[in-house]
Amino acid sequence: MGKRKDLSEFDKDQIVMAGRLGQSISKTAALVGCSRSAVVRIYQECSKEGTVVNRRQGHGRPRLSEG
């Protein structure tokens, strides 16, 4: 396995912006030159802070509410 390098703030900003523009994880990883898992990790970190909008919508039958 290769050595892990820390992403610069510029790279992180590029990942966040690509996500906002709707780019795929694979294309974003190729653009920045990092692994797909690094892109996912940055997405998750930013979504916790509220800087990236969660675009995932629920699919299928809604859950039954308890009560």
User: 66 in a domain, yes or no?
Assistant: no
Q: Are 39 and 47 in contact (CB under 8 A)?
A: no
User: 38 in a domain, yes or no?
Assistant: yes
The mean-pLDDT minimum among 2-11, 17-26, 46-55 falls in: 46-55
Q: Pick the residue with more confidence: 4 or 2?
A: 4
Q: Distance between CA 58 and CA 10 in Å, rounded?
A: 32
User: 57 in a domain, yes or no?
Assistant: no
Half-sphere CA count of 53, side-chain side, radius 13 A: 7
| Count of the separate structural domains present in the chain | 1
Q: Are 19 and 52 in contact (CB under 8 A)?
A: yes
How does the average pLDDT of the chain come out, rounded? 80
At residue 44 the predicted structure's pLDDT band, cuts being 50, 70 and 90, is confident
Per the structure, the complete domain to which residue 28 belongs is given by 9-49
User: 13 in a domain, yes or no?
Assistant: yes
User: 55 in a domain, yes or no?
Assistant: no
pLDDT for 61 equals 79
